[in-house]
A and B are shown apart, each in its own frame.
Chain A
Amino acid sequence: MAHAATRLTRFNMTSLALGLAFLYLPIVILVIYSFNASRLVTVWGGWSLRWYHEFFSDRAMLDAAWMSLSVAAVSATLATLLGTLAAVGLARGERFRGRALFSGMLYSPLVMPEVISGLSLLLLFVALNAERGFWTVTIAHTTLTMCFVTVVVQSRLATLDRSLEEAAMDLGCDPVRAFLLVTLPLIVPAIVAGWMLAFTLSLDDVVIASFTTGPGSATLPIRIYSEVRLGVKPEINAICTLVIALIAVIIVVASFASKLSSARGESAAPL
């Protein structure tokens, strides 16, 4: 019976606990130490919210956090827009010349080393004589994350029955309205999941951002990275805890979105 096979044996419990500990122990320690009163990172000095205060009064760090969040929000939105259009084009468009090449090129950022993407974007921006800062990072992150949105949305479109759109047209919709009234509502969970994926990827990125940003507009990861080189302050732990909390919320929302889409009788978008 399936019940017997899935019941937790002592061995399964132990291996699960070890696995989870391996993954999450460093994070748990980080979170605990973010509430440390001591000035030294490795010495426990009792519970305190001191480093959270420190962070919220650290102008430069707050600016970096704000920069990161706005870059992530804007680039995720742009990437979702472009990525969804590309996915619809690839999944629904007529077989155009160069389709295979186009889809291959679209996915190249998935496998391209970030250093190369970052360097090539930097060369582009220098060649264009663009002032490096918020917009250059945003554009760079859009190109990085768009293909992830395309993958998520395209796999959702692939599971959607073509005859749904045909039925909509049969019942009086032109192709655009058929897309808006039938296809779009059915792929919204995948689009939401794609946006969140793009948001977290952008929030997370150091390499491409450090190539494409300019003086005075560091993102949070860049800022943290440069701080850590001078020695880890417990303030960093507090910031990281906040970032982890934000990402956890996003992951929960995204998995709800993909649950919602599977509850609609179609297979969920992979996350």
Chain B
Amino acid sequence: MPLLRIEGVAKSFGNFRAVDQLSLDIRAGEFFALLGPSGCGKTTLLRMLAGFETPDEGRILLGGSDIAQVLPHERPVNMMFQNYALFPHLSVRDNIAFGLRRAGMARKDIATRVAEMLALVKLEGLEKRKPDQLSGGQRQRVALARSLARRPQVLLLDEPLAALDKKLRESTQGELMELQRRLGMTFIIVTHDQEEAMTMAGRIGVMDAGRLVQVATPRNLYEAPASRWIAEFVGDINLFNGQVAARENGRLTVSTAEAGPLAVSELWPPVTKELVSVAIRPEKVKLSRRAPASDAGLSQTINRLAGVVTDVNYLGGVTSYRVKLETGAMVRSSMANTARLDVDAYLAGQRVVAWFTADDCLVLEQ
């Protein structure tokens, strides 16, 4: 039995179906991310877990009992708000102690727990400050300490890092992961930032239009997206529409208008439709001055596309190229800059061959 089971939950606001027949299991001790574009229903789902919204249908089982109709203050669940929602009239200490006082904890225990929480988020010495005397990063830590103080069974985090700048966000991501591992707590985070979700979460649930479209580990989400929409939403991708022309021994040949016939390895479960898209991530497209002579050296089928480099974007760690094929279609390729001197760099206007293996391709139904 998972710690949290969401069963056929639905929620509408007027005619708008914010969450639509959604089911999901979350294990104890898991770091789970809900990822999706704005308006996909991820925040509504989180608010239903916190108790601020009541589902129209379905059940939310926490440790086996249905909490869908339980009021927020009676749930063993705490939430960290996007704007932190610190009480402006209370000091850091009183903010953290707020939930403990409501739980009727003894004064001595409260003092101990507050000190423990301050140490956990590295805010010792700031307990007398008011929220408006803190920096953004410090406020974020107070909010975290306050939501962790009651030791909830599940901690819900609503875009917890959205208000921080990039550097601080990255270091805080690491601290959150470390904290979650140390406390062994279940974290559910809502984010629209896929890099954040991939960095922190063990599993990611991608939402679109109120539905959960895929639940997978970051690697599987990226390398084996369940649909064309997910492939395009998570990371960059080249897509070629075409038709299945031949099928043998787990290998498909797809004839595309833009890139000619492409050899791809078939995934499991196999595609059933004839109209498909071949998808290939830019970092899996290599560029060469000449096409690799034969497939023998790589012991697998290679797709070669001849074209001309049109754009070169040097981004530090990688360089991203756009190559115009003879059909007029564009292919994106990104290559790691593994050497300091640019002996391998290509220039705009140069004739190149973009190539990739059949195994690196994905076949997605249109």
Contacts and interface: CB of A to CB of B under 8 A. Distances in A.
B85 A167 contact: yes
A264 B102 CA distance: 24
A163 B81 contact: yes
A169 B71 CA distance: 9
Contacts of B50: 166, 170
Nearest to A266: B88
B102 A164 contact: no
A181 B51 CA distance: 20
B40 interface: no
Interface in B77-132: 78-79, 81-83, 85-89, 98-99, 102-103, 131-132
A41 interface: no
Given A264-B88, A264-B89, A173 B102 contact: yes
B52 interface: yes
Contacts of A166: 50, 52, 72, 79, 81, 85
A163 B89 CA distance: 15
Contacts of A170: 50-51, 72-73, 78-79, 99, 147
Contacts of A163: 81-83, 85
A244 interface: no
Contact of B150 (A171, A174, A181): A171
B13 to A, nearest CB: 12
Given A163-B83, A265-B131, A171 B88 contact: no
Q: Chain A contact residues (Cβ within 8 angstroms of B): what range?
A: 20 to 34
Given A161-B83, A167-B81, A265-B131, A172 B103 contact: yes
A185 B89 contact: yes
Contacts of B73: 169-174, 178
A169 B81 contact: no
A172 B52 CA distance: 13
Interface in A174-224: 174, 177-178, 181-182, 185-186
B85 A161 contact: yes
B87 to A, nearest CB: 6
A171 B102 contact: yes
B71 A174 contact: yes
Contacts of A173: 73, 102
A139 interface: no
23 contacts: A163-B81, A163-B82, A163-B85, A164-B85, A164-B87, A166-B52, A166-B81, A166-B85, A167-B85, A167-B87, A167-B146, A169-B72, A170-B73, A170-B79, A171-B150, A172-B73, A172-B99, A172-B103, A174-B73, A185-B89, A264-B89, A264-B132, A265-B131
